[in-house]
Amino acid sequence: MDSFAERRERASCIVRKLKQLFPKAKIVLRYSNNWELLVAVILSAQCTDKKVNEVTAKLFKKYKTLNDYIKASASQRTIKEFEKDIHSCGFFRNKTKNILAAAKLIKTKFGGKIPRTMEDMLTLPGVARKTANVVLGNAYGVVEGIAVDTHVGRLAQKLGLTEHKDPVKIERDLMELVPKKDWFFLTYGLIEYGRHICLARKHDCTNHPF
């Protein structure tokens, strides 16, 4: 592994180049309020954003308010119906359990509002640091870390910014290498790079910008 100074310089070059390549990089999940943002991010685990947007286009019309989600947890029949509504996102039983439980907790503990701190976000069912970072950054402009999804984790390793595979450790390494003002952009810049240039499948990277 290169020295810290070398990795920090590389990280600086990567951020600079990503801003040239994808100056408008941002979240592509579709939502109209902070609760819908949280639902969409929970659904996106192990699922493409494209598929999530297809599912939520119908889901958000059917369940319009936080209370609609709370009502969905009222009986086994309505829970099964919700599972069917999100089935194609994968892990639908676990995601249903987490989304409906989060709705109740947000209503009772947070007055119906999505929390504004990492500490409070991490008390919600189905929410780890990646989800919390995405929601806090997009909902409130609160940046407490770097959201490490599959693209970010894969590219951070490939570009020599970390030796770790654990998302929390990757995030820690990136936060040490990249100035805080660039944390929010880095997530979406790397996601765009992973989607459009350096795809996950095996390929020749010879002609890539990095």
User: What residue numbers bound the domain in which 46 lies?
Assistant: 34-126
pLDDT of residue 87: 98
The pLDDT tens digits for 133-150 are 999 999 999 999 999 999
The pLDDT tens digits for 98-136 are 999 999 999 999 999 999 999 999 999 999 999 999 999
Domain annotation covers residue 139: no
The answer to whether residues 109 and 64 belong to one domain is yes
The answer to whether residues 47 and 110 belong to one domain is yes
pLDDT of residue 1: 73
Instruction: Look at residues 75, 91, 126 and tell me which one is the last residue of a structural domain.
Output: 126
The answer to whether residues 120 and 38 belong to one domain is yes
Domain annotation covers residue 131: no
Across 47-64, average pLDDT: 97
Q: Residues, the chain, total? A: 210
Q: What is the pTM of this model?
A: 0.95
b (16+ CB within 10 A) / e for 27-62: bebebeebbbbbbbbbbbbebebeebbebbeebbee
Across 162-174, average pLDDT: 97
